Each structure stands twice: as C-alpha cells, then as structure tokens.
Amino acid sequence: MAKINTAPATVSKPRPTLCVAPRPEARSYPDLRAPELYLSRELTWLAFNRRVLDEARDREMPLLERIKFVAIVNSNLDEFFMKRIGGLKQQVAAGLETPSVDGRTPRQQIADCVAEARQILEASSEVFAEVRGELAKQGLLLRRYGQLTAGEKAAARADYARNVLPVVTPLGFDPAHPFPVLSNLSLNLLVSLRESAGKEPFLARIKVPVGPHSPRFVRIGDGDQFVLLEEVIAHNLDLLFPDCAVESCHTFRVIRNCATDRDEEAAEDLLAMIEAELRDRRFAPFVRLELAEAMPVAQQNLLCKELDLDPEIDLYQHHDLLGAADLMELTALDFPELRLPPHQPIVNVHLPEGASTFDAIRRQGSILLQHPFESFTASVECFLAEASRDPQVMAIKATLYRTSPGTRIVDSLVTAALSGKQVAVTIELKARFDEAANVRWARRMEESGVHVSYGVVGLKTHCKALLVVRREEAQLRRYVHIGTGNYHAGTARNYSDLGLLSCDPVLGQDIADLFNALTTGRKIARRYRKILTAPKVMKQALLAMIQREVSLHTPAVPGLIRLKTNALEDPDMVAALYAAGRAGVRVELLVRDTCRLRPGLPGLSESITVRSIVGRFLEHARVYYFRNGGAEEYYLGSADLMQRNLEHRVELLVPVEKAQLRAALGHFLDTQLSDRHPCWEMQPDGSYVRRRLKTGERRSCCQEALIVAAEQRRQLAVAPVARLRRRVAAGAAS
C-alpha cells in the first residue's frame, strides 16, 4: 500500500507537460498561433480531474461525498480512455503525425496523457484508502473475504449460490477454444485450473455480473459491512468447477475504444446505422487493461497478447480496487450524517404552484430559471406537461440530446401526440454513450405518433429547445424554453444550469425557423433576428463581439468580457481572446475543464483570468457577456467554446434582454467570480492554484451562496402574501 499523504492539498503542482514553454517572459507575441501559447486539450482536461480529486481530499467534506468524488474521477478517466485515447490511437494507426495546435503529435499526446493518468489513478487509490479507513471508524466497513467469520462466509456463499451463480458463465480457453469476447468496462476473473494431477492446467474467464440486480458491494449480515462480489466468486469457485483444483485466481478489467463512428452521410437509415455502431463497439480494439498486482507476469503477458495491447503503455496495475467508479453504489447508503444535507430546490417565484405556466410567462414576458437552485420539475417538466394536456395547444416541438427514465419529458410528448396534437422531436441518436437509450426513446415516440427526426446530416444536434404553439383569442402564440442543460431529471438535480422561458414573438419565430431547419434535415442557411446558431453564425458572431470589445475599449469605458463555459478549446477563439488581452480588455473566464488559453503572460494576457469551479454541483451553464461600450449583452445557451461545438454541431445561444434577468445573470457571474473555496485559478504555466482566503475572510462557496439567494427570492415573494393573510386574519378576529 502506498503511503498516504495526510496533509490537505490546496495547490495543484505545476505540470511541465501542460505547455511547451514552461516559463513566460515579456515579449510582443507577434504570432498568436505559436504552439507555446496553447495548452493541451487532453492534459487540461486531466488537470480538471485532479481538481475533482482534491474535493475527495477535503477533510471538511462528509465521507460519502468524498467517496462520490473518487468514483467520479474514475468514471471520468474510463470515458477519457474510451473517447480520447481511443481516438488518438486511431490516428496513430492511420499514420497521422500532424501536430495539434499545442505542437504535439498523436503519439506524443498519448504518452503525455498516459503518464498523467497513471499519477491521477495512483492518487485516487491513496485517497480511497484514507477515506476507507475513516468510513470504518463510522461503522461502514469494506472487508476482505478472508476477514469474514465462518458463519459470515457461509451466509455469503448461500446468497451467492441463490442470487448470482445462476447468471455466471465461465468460459475456458486453450488451443482448442478461442479467447472469449470481453465486453467494454467488464470486470473479470482469470482462473487457472487443473482437472487432475499430471494434466496440464487450463485457463478460464469469469465475467463478474455487476449490475442493477447484482451490486458490486455485497452486504454481510444486517449491518453496514460489505465485501466485493468478485471476492465472493473467487472464494467459491468449487460451485463452478466442482471437479477441478484452483491454482490461481486474479481480477482484471478491460476498456475498449468507443470512437467507432460510421459515415453518417453514407447511411440510408440513421437508426439502423447507430444500432450497427453499437454492435461495432462490442468488438472495438482495447485501449486499457487493469489488473491486480499479484497476477503472474506470464498471465499478464498472455492477456496483453490476446488483447493486442502494449504492456508499457496500456497495462495498469492496482494494489486496491479495480473499477473504482462502482464506489458510487456506496453513496446511496442510508448514512445521512456522512453526506451533505439534501438540497431542496425552490419553485421559481414567477411560477407559483397550481397556476398556469402560460399565464405566468405572458405576465413576465421572459423568466430565467436557475437549476438546481430552482426546481426543474416545477418549471420545465410542468410547462411541457401542461402543454400536453391543454386543448388550446396545437403543436409541440423539442430537441432531445440526453434524457432519463425519471424525466416526464418523453411521457408528456407521447401524451400530446396521442391526444391529437402535432408533436415533432429532433433526437440526437449519436449522443455519446446514450445512443442505445435514445434509440429506445425514438422508437417509443414514433409508435405513439410523434414525428421523430434525427437532425441535420453530418452535425450533432446539441441545442436544448422546446417550442409550444397555443391558440389564444383567435391567434397563435409561441412559447419557448431554451436551456444550457439536457432535458434530464437526474442531471437537473446535480448540474448547475440555466434556462429561459419566453413568449417573445421574435424569439418564438426564430426558434420555429430553427425547428423547420432541423426537421427538414438540410443545412439550410437561415436569417435569424435574435438567436445565434452554430455552425453557420455563432462562431463568427462571437469573434466579432470580441473584436468589437477591443474597438470600444477606452480608459473611460474599459472593455470587459465574461465567458462561462465548460471548455475553451477552439484555436480561433483563443487567438481572439489573446488579441483582446493584448489590447488591455479585461477578460474573465470561468472554464470548468479544458482550457487551451494561458492567462497572465506578460505583454499578452495579463488582463485575462481563468478560473475553474469544482463543487457540490457540476458546473454546466454557458453564459457569454460583453460590456459593449455600456450597452451590455448577455447570451445563454448550449454551446461550449470548442471547435466541435462551433463548427460541427447544431448549437443555440439566445440573448437575454429583460433588465431584471440581465441583473440576475450579472449576480450569478459576480457570485461565481468572487468565490474563494471551490474556485481554482490558472497560472501562466497551466497549473491551477486554489484561491486563498484573505485574512479574516470566512470560507465561502458560490453554489451555497446561490442556494441562499434562491431561498431569499422565495421569502421575498411569499412575504406580501403572508402579510395579506395576517391582515385578513386580524380583520376576521375583530
């Protein structure tokens, strides 16, 4: 076991691999495309996971919350290998040596990423060991099978034989039997067996059946003690091999490449193409092999050979838990004292319960929604549910990128179609890792009479929009919702997102035109009056607004740009922001993870700051602000500042024009930019330092501050009603 560093980590150490020039010097920077000005997309994303892991190190964080962050980091790294390492390996296999904007070839990117990922995984293991010990002190024990009493072992064996063994299928392999097909992310046992003395041993693979009905962590007795399912299987192999002697048993786990996109433009049936692509992934090349350190070298080499993996690059040995993403199971245990207090979102003050959403939107003109501080269920889901039942509603149109069984969105769309309304849905079948679910949603909606389309050929439809057409007083009125997050009940509780409900007629017409383009399925160039859409307009508009800020910048009215996004990767956007910084425009960037730009470079980006917030909720909102010489502009929507979003996806940004809502967005950004606890500040070399408290300053958290602000809005809204009720009660008493 590696030694645990018990000192709380507050600084992410500089990583020289993040950039080419490790130390900036004052100079003119004539070439804004120079590789040394750009950080690695992949390495800055991995650096984000270091910041997530730092939340697990925080000893003021409840223990199950710390476990949650360990699980998130490991889940993120699994996805990173499936998507990014898989894609880079494809480039190497194709002989591509073209360097990225930061000067790295695909082969160099893999080497740098693998080195960084190994460090993160090792640090994650150390943090888990520490938290595991603290959980034991609280009565939540993760035990080894060998530590169980004879009675506990007998009970575990009986439970396994009854509830798990019937679905376990051992597969032997030898010269007469091919190596078995291993599914992506599968946890396996490699067992060496001998039938009788004198016979050659043979190998068998057992897939550990982890799933909703077969948890990884097996409860022992009635208490809060658990043992790993793979250990239960490994110590009861006689139930699978009654006539064999077990010589060894070791755990291993595999990850496959999921970058297996087919040619969409050549597909006659997109739905069939996606289903075929999902089948392809079952047999895609492997990109990572994880195994227990105790596995003999001969068996390690055998697995690497069969999986066509390089042991120097692709083999990861662990002295503890394989597949630590499964630790998320433990966060559901009934230990409220080991978790943060549950958050109860308020109902938006302009959407009182029991009142018509349509009436509320008409009264306000536009309503800003802040999730999860305000309820997604009581706003977006209620809006669509009401529309599905309202006889005055004639048509509903929606985009779906990701959704969940717990979301009423699909139910409402189906209800509306069955009641005779015109319902059209653009569903993105190629939403990474949600393809299978989206295929099921698509088939269900089609069977109910919903007009399902799959967007524009060659582009992912990533925008989040709803359109409701309602007949009112002999005319039709359009109501819209535009969001920064998916129509997904689960993520709406755990992601920080924004949304806009509006009946603005111009905005409604723009959204209607956008849906006409999506359902037509062609790359139609349309002129919109308010919204910005990608790939045709958005990037050029944002670049123009950055340049406009430079041209309007004066000592009296200094330029100011504030951008909140998940990622800043597009080289053109980075170059434009460098130009703004060189001109003296203040640029305040809130970038959750990937960021190619280096702030604080003398003579270039001294007026630029980059901050990253990692907290209880995943920061997911996108907000773009420009001072514009005093005529301030705010936009919100679905697009990150990545080349794929701006050039290869259908994205949507909508202006926020109502003064009250602009003030609310300003407060939202001010709150996040002034944060000092979950906020990290990027240094010129690409490393991050957690912002330190000033002398006498209390530890603060912007997300907690936004929870408090939401509650204050609720109290201000109910205060007049409470005063009226008191007056009525006083009058009745007199």
Q: Which residues are catalytic?
A: 462
Per the listing, tokens 């190998």 go with: 203
The count of C-alpha atoms lying within 13 angstroms of the C-alpha of 685, restricted to the half-sphere facing its C-beta, is 11
| Residue type present at position 61 | M
Strand bridging mode 465-472 / 393-400:
antiparallel
Closest CA to 258 of 392, 389, 83: 83
DSSP letters, 22-83, are SS--------TT-GGGB--HHHHHHHHHHHHHHHHH-TTS-HHHHHHHHHHHHHHHHHHIII
Contacts of 125 (CB under 8 A, 6+ apart): 2, 318, 319, 320, 321, 324
Cβ-count burial 696-714 (b if 16+ within 10 Å, e if not): eeeeebbbbbbbebbeebe
Strand bridging mode 586-591 / 649-655:
unpaired
| Residue type present at position 397 | K
DSSP lists the bridge partners of residue 465 as 482
Cα–Cα distance list, 453 to 267, 274, 519, 520, 663 (Å)? 15, 14, 6, 8, 38
**HEC profile for 444-473?**
HHHHCCCEEECCCCCCEECCCEEEEEEEEC
> Six-digit token pair at 512?
């209607």
Per the listing, tokens 């076991």 go with: 1
Give just the sign of the alpha carbon dihedral 268, 454, 41, 291: negative
Closest CA to 550 of 610, 607, 634: 607
CA–CA separation, 148 and 596 (whole Å): 51
Closest CA to 537 of 654, 620, 634: 654
φ/ψ of 314, rounded to 5, equals -100, -5
Contacts of 591 (CB under 8 A, 6+ apart): 563, 564, 565, 566, 567, 568, 610, 611, 612
CA–CA separation, 338 and 155 (whole Å): 28
Closest CA to 66 of 344, 338, 372, 342: 338
φ/ψ of 598, rounded to 5, equals -110, 110
Q: Using CA atoms of 613, 615, 620, 625 in order, give the dihedral in degrees to the nearest 10.
A: -40
